[in-house]
């Protein structure tokens, strides 16, 4: 997150609105760096690497999987060492690593070094994501603006849209290498802007662990975690290969990078919209709907033959995956009470584990089948099964809809 923890200062709630707004803005910029660029810039740059260097779908899937293995490792570290989340040194190190690994992707053609960079970058992304999600929400709650936290995840969508729009411009200046270098520089500038906006906020406090007698239980999120794992498996296939698939479709090559912009623009407001849906319909119903709409969007992308067709598929995908993230995270925190921090890390671990499985299998199947039809069909099926698990989870309560923040 673009905040530096202050473990010695008591919280002063004035000015509430201004402090909360700056913290939220810094968090959004942090999400753009860590997730929108650090994790997902690979998607619009991948077609350029395949065009300029001839890398296979299998290698692409392997590189994506290494990134997600790093993400999983980072999430596990957060789960087993929650105290590390309060360390300014750890937070700053993760931020620098996210920027550096993006930048350095453009200075080598070694698959080994690419893999190492994606691995480290994934770990940095997980650390930053968990820190941002926890600290921003806690600060906003203290400021009486807890409902604003849904807007935080818009940073992921904005980062995706920005990378989709900027990568084609960078491509004209030097292909895949300049694209990586440019995105690294851009992420550094966004990080500096985030630090300038949020700075050293009094809201980013040291918060001690809850005593054992006050701890909640993680047993209530077993089914939710399973559904979130399946979401990780299914959604990441589209998140990794959507632009590549469209780029290889006759007549749609020029639209490919803009499909990623469509994903990002649909994702940016989606968390707020899904929060409102949860309030009106209930969390379980809204979350089930998001899963099923996402599965439908993945199926729709299989035979996309026109920009309109591909654009609708991109919007359905972009408009749901962050909604799932926001609703699942909020529900996990509600169920686990004082263990909310650990629940965030555990859910992120499950999501990360799912993302490790999807890309290499999808890449190998695409190489063997000569296309992405089968991988995308399987991805849609997995997401739909996750929706069924959500729909049959009896631990959702009517009260949770109003608590979704």
Domain with 275 in it: 16-403
- Looking at residue 239, its pLDDT comes to 80
Which CATH number characterizes residue 209's domain?
A: 1.20.1250.20
Residue whose pair of structure tokens reads 């999808």 in the numeric block: 362
Quick check: 352 pLDDT over 90?
no
Kindly indicate the confidence band of residue 219, based on its pLDDT and cuts at 50, 70 and 90.
low
Distance of CA 214 to the CA centre of its chain: 31
Q: pLDDT tens for residues 32-60?
A: 999 999 988 998 999 899 999 998 888 98
Dist CA 70 CA 3 (whole Å) = 23
pLDDT of residue 250: 82
**pLDDT surpasses 70 at 227:** yes
Query: Which residue has tokens 């989606």?
Result: 270
Distance CA 32, CA 30 (A): 5
Which is more confident, 351 or 120? 120
- Mean pLDDT of the region 147-152: 78
What 8-state DSSP symbol labels residue 11? P
With cut-offs at 50, 70 and 90, classify the pLDDT of residue 339: low
279 burial (CB, 10 Å; 0-12 / 13-18 / 19+) is middle
pLDDT at 204: 41
Q: Looking at residue 143, what is its pLDDT?
A: 76
pTM confidence score: 0.80
Nearest-angstrom CA–CA distance, 379 and 168: 28
Average of pLDDT values for 156-162? 91
Q: What are φ and ψ of residue 210, in 5° steps?
A: -70, 145
350 in any annotated domain: yes
CA-nearest of 2, 9, 364 to 194 is 2
**Residue from 375, 293, 278, 281 nearest 330 by CA:** 278
Better-scored residue on pLDDT, 294 or 402: 294
Residue 37 lies in a domain: yes
H or E element: which one contains 336? Answer: helix 307-336
CA–CA separation, 247 vs 10, rounded Å?
53
**Residue 13 pLDDT > 70:** no
**Mean per-residue pLDDT over the chain, rounded:** 82
pLDDT of the residue at 81: 76
pLDDT for 2 beyond 60: no
* Dist CA 97 CA 13 (whole Å): 33
List the single range of 75-89, 95-109, 257-271 with lowest mean pLDDT: 75-89
Report d(CA 334, CA 138) in Å as an integer. Answer: 13
pLDDT of residue 293: 95
In a domain, 9, yes or no: no
Q: Which tokens hold the place of 188?
A: 């550094």
* Residue 102 lies inside a defined structural domain of this protein: yes
Buried b (16+ CB within 10 A) or exposed e, 286-325: bbbbbbbbbbbbbbbbbebeebeebbbbbbbbbbbbbbbb
* C-alpha span between 13 and 50 (Å, rounded): 52
Domain count, the chain: 1
Residue 344 near residue 130 (C-beta atoms within 8 A): yes
pLDDT of residue 18: 60
293-329 per-position pLDDT tens digit: 999 999 988 887 788 888 898 899 999 988 998 899 8
CB atoms under 10 Å from CB of 16, counted, come to 13
Beta bridge partners of 6: 205
* More confident: 378 or 236: 378
Query: Does 4 have pLDDT greater than 80?
Result: no
CA–CA distance, 271 with 277 (Å, rounded to integer) = 10
Is 84 within a domain? yes
pLDDT at res. 398: 52
Residue 314 lies in a domain: yes
pLDDT at 338 > cutoff 70: no
Tell me the pLDDT band of 334, cut-offs 50, 70 and 90.
confident
Residue 3 lies in a domain: no
Distance of alpha carbon 252 from alpha carbon 245, whole angstroms:
9
Residue 5 in any domain: the answer is no
């Amino acid at each position: 997150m673009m905040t530096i923890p202050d473990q010695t200062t008591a919280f002063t709630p004035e000015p509430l609105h201004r402090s909360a707004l700056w913290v939220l803005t810094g968090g959004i910029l942090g999400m753009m760096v860590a997730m929108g660029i650090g994790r997902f810039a690979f998607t619009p740059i991948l077609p350029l690497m395949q065009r300029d260097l001839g890398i296979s779908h299998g290698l692409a899937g392997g590189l994506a999987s290494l990134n997600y293995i790093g993400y999983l490792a980072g999430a596990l570290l957060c789960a087993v060492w929650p105290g590390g989340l309060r360390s300014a040194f750890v937070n700053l190190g993760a931020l620098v690593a996210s920027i550096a690994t993006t930048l350095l992707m453009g200075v080598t053609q070694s698959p080994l070094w690419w893999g190492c960079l994606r691995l480290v970058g994934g770990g940095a992304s997980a650390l930053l994501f968990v820190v941002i999600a926890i600290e921003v929400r806690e600060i906003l709650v203290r400021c009486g603006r807890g409902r604003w936290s849904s807007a935080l995840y818009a940073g992921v969508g904005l980062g995706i849209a920005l990378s989709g729009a900027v990568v084609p411009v960078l491509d004209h200046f030097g292909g895949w290498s300049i694209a990586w270098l440019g995105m690294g520089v851009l992420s550094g500038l966004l990080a500096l802007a985030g630090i300038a906006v949020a700075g050293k906020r009094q809201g980013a406090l040291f918060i001690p662990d809850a005593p054992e007698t006050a701890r909640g239980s993680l047993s209530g999120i077993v089914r939710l975690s399973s559904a979130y794992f399946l979401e990780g498996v299914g959604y990441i296939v589209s998140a990794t290969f959507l632009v590549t698939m469209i780029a290889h479709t006759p007549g749609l090559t020029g639209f490919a990078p803009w499909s990623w912009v469509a994903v990002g623009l649909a994702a940016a407001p989606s968390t707020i919209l899904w929060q409102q849906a949860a309030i009106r319909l209930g969390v379980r119903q809204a979350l089930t709907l998001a899963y099923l709409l996402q599965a439908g969007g993945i199926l729709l992308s299989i035979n996309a033959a026109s920009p309109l067709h591909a654009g609708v598929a991109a919007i359905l995908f972009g408009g749901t995956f962050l909604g799932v993230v926001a609703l699942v995270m909020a529900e996990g925190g509600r169920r686990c009470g004082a263990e909310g921090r650990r629940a965030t890390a555990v859910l992120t671990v499950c999501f990360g584990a799912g993302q490790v499985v999807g890309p290499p299998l999808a890449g190998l199947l695409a190489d063997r089948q000569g296309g992405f039809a089968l991988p995308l069909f399987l991805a849609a099926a997995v997401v739909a099964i996750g929706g069924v698990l959500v729909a049959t989870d009896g631990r959702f309560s009517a009260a949770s809809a109003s608590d979704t923040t």
